Amino acid sequence: MRGIALGLLGLLLTLAWADGLREARLVVRGETLELNPPALWDGRELWLPTQHLEKLGLPLEANAHTVRLTTLPSDQPVAHVPCEPKRGVLCVPVRDLARRLGGFTRWDEGSHTLSLLARLQEAQLGDETLRIKTSLPVAWRTFKLENPHRLVIDLAGCALPDVPVPLPQPAGSVKAVRIAQFDPHTVRIALEMDTPHASPENGLHSEWQIALVPAAQSPIATDPADAPPIVVEEARPAEPAPEPFQIPALQRNAQGVVQLNIPMPEGARPNVQFLENPMRIALDVPGYLQEAVEQAIDDPSLFVRTLRAAPMEGGMVRLVLELSRSVGAQILSGKAGITLNLRAPRNTGGKLSEKIIVIDPGHGGAQPGARWREGQTVIEEKTITLAISLHIAELLSREGAKVILTRSEDKAVGLYERTALSNSANAHFFISIHCDSNPRPNSASGTTIYYHKDDADSRALGQAILNEMVKVSGLPSRGVRSDSKLYQNGLAVLRTSQMPAVLIEVGFLNHSFDRAKLIQPNFQKRIAEAIVKGLKAHVEGR
């Protein structure tokens, strides 16, 4: 009987934990929170037990089954975020909270960590004051630096917006102003001044002012008895400072491949991210830096506009390549470090008008794809994907390109028929249009573009397209991802395509914010225009 009981207990525990959830870490204002019970990640959303809400430092008010955003009118539906039980604990969706409050989140798969970040919204100089505004409360501090004299304000838990904040015009005692992303969690504002007056300060705010006035002087001691004792310490030899990280040089070999050699321990591989708006490649590598450095690249044949390096926690440096065009990128490991190879992607060059492009409207006929019912109205993925695809085909035809649609009406087409059509036409590119969905309505939002496995050419195509989509969609970017994250063998239409191919999940049909956009004809046209613009930039190297 005991063996049966233990077996049943093991089965119950297995069922309880086979829920697709895994423990995750949460970073707020640059610090990893100590959470017990832990936050849980379901692959799209981070669920935070409601007893930890105060640690977020956000304008929230917890009720029995919802969390109210106190900065929004209480009669607005978006002001109330529903909580859900996870493993017997009531939890709130952090990514949804951040989006509604004007912040955003960044997920790191390697460390299972979600970072909660505010956007810098304003930095204005007044009469000897600096006014700062962020979308969420940030932990800020001021300090001074020399050579040249600067007053520095670090905003922990903050990131620069996609559209740069206008730099304040120097005024009064301020000679110059610089604003930069110091590390992944910190925005740094530096005011160059003849004599920085402000004394060290810190706080936790989303809107505040810093006075740039002389600090009060301490009284001068007139009686020797009032003076503090002089303490003489034995001199200790100074430890040599580590060599600062040097931005490596870009080199172009005889085959036209641009190479960047980065020293690293043998066998180590950097964390790599492909980012958009602007298109960037970010690599986290071991190294020491005191402050961010930047190097402009004037040679367009090197594919890079700017190289930047910024210090990170734990003896790491983030090296960012801001790209002048989409590139096929590959990392090779060696004994002395790694080599990042950049090259023009396959089938690019020339004009868009010279290319054959297959546009694949997802689903069709008896295969509706994702569905959503509102009263008597049923919204189907197949209808939205066809509408967007027809706009894309029209725009490409105007460009002079040869366009092939896998379907131009509401009919079913087999997965392998779609790529067989593309392969037999010797197409240069294959673009499949879809709408996303998941089991929990309103739990995930945004645009994702998939490419097959580690195909660098398809990834470059996706990055170029997403770079334009995020500028017009108003939806969060979920990045360009390998389809191996979905299925071990990838997606059928990408796996069987013989040319660079991407599958675009424009938005989530089961999220109210995304759905309201997806069904709008004007939004469908804007998305089509962005996809064509990104494809053209990819082909013509702009």
pLDDT in the model for residue 506? 97
C-beta separation of 346 from 334 below 8 A? no
Structure tokens of 313? 């926690």
Tell me which residue of 460, 528, 444, 532 sits closest to 500, measured CA to CA. Answer: 460
pLDDT in the model for residue 483? 93
C-beta separation of 59 from 69 below 8 A? yes
pLDDT in the model for residue 236? 54
- Phi first, then psi: give them for residue 375, nearest 5 degrees: 65, -120
Both ends of the chain: CA-CA distance in Å? 72
Asked if the bond preceding 521 is cis, omega within 30° of 0, the reply is no
Dist. CA 344–CA 355, nearest whole Å: 16
Please give the chain's pLDDT, 542 residues, in tens. 555 444 544 444 444 445 689 999 999 988 898 899 999 998 889 999 998 988 888 888 888 788 888 877 777 777 888 898 998 899 999 998 888 888 888 888 888 899 999 989 888 888 778 889 998 889 888 888 777 778 888 999 998 876 667 777 787 778 888 888 887 888 888 888 877 665 567 888 888 888 876 544 444 444 444 545 544 445 555 556 567 888 899 999 888 899 999 988 776 778 889 999 899 999 988 888 888 889 999 998 999 999 999 988 777 889 999 999 999 999 888 878 889 999 999 999 999 999 999 999 999 999 999 999 988 899 999 999 999 999 999 999 999 999 999 999 999 999 999 999 999 999 999 999 999 999 888 888 999 999 999 899 999 999 999 999 999 999 989 999 999 988 888 999 999 999 999 999 999 999 999 999 999 999 999 999 999 999 999 999 97
pLDDT in the model for residue 72? 76
pLDDT in the model for residue 238? 55
Q: 509: Cβ–Cβ under 8 A, 6 or more apart, which residues?
A: 370, 371, 372, 379, 381, 384, 435, 436, 437, 515, 518
Global pTM value: 0.59
Helix ranges, 403-520 (H): 415-424, 456-473, 492-495, 512-518
C-beta separation of 246 from 262 below 8 A? no
DSSP, residue by residue, 132-147: EEEEEEEEEEEEEETT
The burial of 468, by beta-carbon neighbours within 10 Å (0-12 exposed, 13-18 middle, 19 or more buried), is given as: buried
Structure tokens of 496? 């069987």
The burial of 272, by beta-carbon neighbours within 10 Å (0-12 exposed, 13-18 middle, 19 or more buried), is given as: middle
- Reduced to 3 states, what is the DSSP secondary structure of residue 472? helix
Please give the C-alpha separations between residue 404 and each of 147, 189, 424, in angstroms, as whole numbers. Answer: 61, 51, 11
Tell me which residue of 301, 229, 307, 299 sits closest to 262, measured CA to CA. Answer: 307
287: left (phi over 0), alpha (psi -120 to 50) or beta: left
C-beta separation of 315 from 289 below 8 A? no
C-beta separation of 67 from 97 below 8 A? yes
Dist. CA 49–CA 59, nearest whole Å: 17
pLDDT in the model for residue 398? 97
pLDDT in the model for residue 43? 87
- Phi first, then psi: give them for residue 460, nearest 5 degrees: -65, -40
Q: 471: Cβ–Cβ under 8 A, 6 or more apart, which residues?
A: 162, 277, 530
Instruction: Give the residue carrying structure tokens 């001021």.
Output: 142
Residues in the chain: 542
Name residue 194's amino acid. D
Question: What domains does the chain contain, in order, with CATH numbers?
Answer: 20-114 (no CATH), 117-211 (2.60.40.3500), 250-343 (2.60.40.3500), 352-540 (3.40.630.40)
Tell me which residue of 98, 159, 105 sits closest to 134, measured CA to CA. Answer: 159
